[in-house]
Amino acid sequence: MPTTLEAKTPRLVTALPGPNAKRVLEQDAKFMSPSYTRDYPLVAKRGHGAIVEDVDGNAFLDFAAGIAVCSTGHCHPKVVAAIQKQAAELIHMSGTDFYYESMPQLAERLALTMPGSEAKKMFFTNSGTEAVEGAMKLARYATKRDKMIAFYGCFHGRSMGALSLTASKSTQRKGFGALLSGIEHIPYPYAYRCAHGHTAETCGAEILEQLEGQIFKRLFDPEDVAGIIIEPIQGEGGYVVAPNFFLQELQRICRQHGIMLIVDEVQSGMGRTGKWWAHEFAGIEPDILCSAKGIASGMPLGAIVAKESVMRWKPGSHGTTFGGNPVCIAAALATMELIDNEYKENARRMGEYLFARMAQWTKNYKIVGDVRGRGLMIGIEIVRDQRTKEKAADLRNAIVDLAFHKGLLLLGAGENTLRLSPPLLIDEEQADFALHTLEECFRETEKKI
């Protein structure tokens, strides 16, 4: 009999939340910031692969991966060994003021994943937010301009600069006063809800017209725009995929006006889509890329990757105490090797497997409006009525909760979308469990409406 963690599928042994979980929830309610957004009472104790065990011994199948972070699964032995070895040798030095050999090693490794022939330079951060914040500073510095264009629905982080680019949910901005000026948001190409009736390949032509014909003529002279930042696949916004032509056209517009094209691949990168980066599907070559989340399997690391011709800021113009800490870098080097050798290909293969099985869902379930994504970045949009496409946030939330009680960990994205972002190592048995559980949840939810 396998132990709970060795099992590949869930095993629930108490009612949820169990007695130990209840104790933690009480303490948490007393001491923790109420700004956190917990959807259900999972109190994690340990994890292995795609399985998470809670404080009461219940084992769950994790299709959330700590918000798309645990790319190589929980506590992969090779990542753990790399962290332990590095922690025993050198924990911190600060790459801002000193050198250590793993830092340029990881930078070289990351550069190899980037398309295009131009050399790349890196700056390591502690988070996705910091990568975005630094990317915006870099775009301003490199162009000597200060305006930015971003997209509705995109999430780029919560520091004042990154939050000014974020236009995901108004609660994320409400109460914090004036943000950065000089930022305009334009619609994101959202094929399922395309106002012009376009397909997933053609949606967005009117948005580009608006950018060139309205924004650049009436608001910002393009010669004043430092950067356009976009998630090639919206994460928090609902796992919406930008069409290839749209990204290609953005690149053309950026090149025409000397604007930095910044791709935020904090969520969509590191092999999750079956390629290192989601923007590779469009064959573009961004000027600046932001990475974090899956890069170090859960250790706090982010990266700004830029063309060498762009990252030419002077010593002292940007820095960090912790960013690119040796332990995080060791985890990232081990993570990248695993993704390269196995998990990128597995994400592609398992993505195909899941999409093939989900192909009929919009026909079989009246609350499933759309199934979309790439690789293991999959969004399922829940609607009250397929014809009107009325968003059903309450039903989506009910499904997330129901799935938890059946042992499957999910997160929502956007107003009414289920997000599937499992570790990149899942196998067919685990995919089958998730599919079967989701179908059960759909059937039970449909019976109640």
Ligand X SMILES: Cc1ncc(COP(=O)(O)O)c(C=O)c1O
Residues within the interface to ligand X (CB under 6 A): 67, 127-129, 132, 155-157, 231, 235-236, 264, 266-267, 292
Q: Which is nearer to ligand X, 166 or 416 (CB)?
A: 166
- Reported as type and span, the H/E element at residue 164 is helix 160-165
| Half-sphere exposure of residue 6: CA atoms within 13 angstroms, side-chain side | 3
Q: How far is the CB of 97 from ligand X (least distance, A)?
A: 24
C-alpha to C-alpha distance for 150 and 153, rounded to whole angstroms? 9
Q: Which is nearer to ligand X, 37 or 117 (CB)?
A: 37
Q: Which is nearer to ligand X, 110 or 132 (CB)?
A: 132
Q: Report the residue number whose CB is nearest to ligand X.
A: 128
Q: Count CB atoms within 10 A of the CB of residue 94.
A: 15
Q: Which is nearer to ligand X, 238 or 407 (CB)?
A: 238
Residue 337 and residue 81 in contact, taking contact as beta carbons nearer than 8 Å: no
The single-letter DSSP state of residue 293 is G
Q: Which is nearer to ligand X, 267 or 416 (CB)?
A: 267
Q: How far is the CB of 157 from ligand X (least distance, A)?
A: 4
Number of alpha helices (DSSP H) and beta strands (DSSP E) in the chain: 13, 18
Q: Which is nearer to ligand X, 187 or 237 (CB)?
A: 237
Instruction: Show Cβ contacts of residue 331 under 8 Å, excluding neighbours closer than 6 positions.
Output: 79, 82, 83, 296, 297, 298, 299, 301
Q: How far is the CB of 105 from ligand X (least distance, A)?
A: 23
Q: How far is the CB of 320 from ligand X (least distance, A)?
A: 13
Backbone angles phi, psi at 168, to 5 degrees: -105, -60
Q: How far is the CB of 359 from ligand X (least distance, A)?
A: 27
Q: Which is nearer to ligand X, 231 or 287 (CB)?
A: 231
Determine the residue type at 160: M
Q: Which is nearer to ligand X, 43 or 266 (CB)?
A: 266
Q: Which is nearer to ligand X, 222 or 227 (CB)?
A: 227
Q: Which is nearer to ligand X, 56 or 231 (CB)?
A: 231
Per-residue H/E/C for 299-335: ECCEEEEEECCCCCCCCCCCCCCCCCCHHHHHHHHHH
Determine the residue type at 252: R
89: its two tokens = 């040798």
C-alpha to C-alpha distance for 250 and 188, rounded to whole angstroms? 12
Q: How far is CA 237 from CA 153, 214, 403, 438, in A?
A: 5, 25, 21, 21
Residue 325 and residue 92 in contact, taking contact as beta carbons nearer than 8 Å: yes
Angle between helices 326-338 and 102-113 (to 10 degrees): 30
Please tell me whether the peptide bond between 17 and the residue prior to it is cis, using omega within 30 degrees of 0: yes
- Rounded to 5 degrees, what angle do the CA atoms 270, 274, 276 make? 35
Residue 288 and residue 314 in contact, taking contact as beta carbons nearer than 8 Å: no
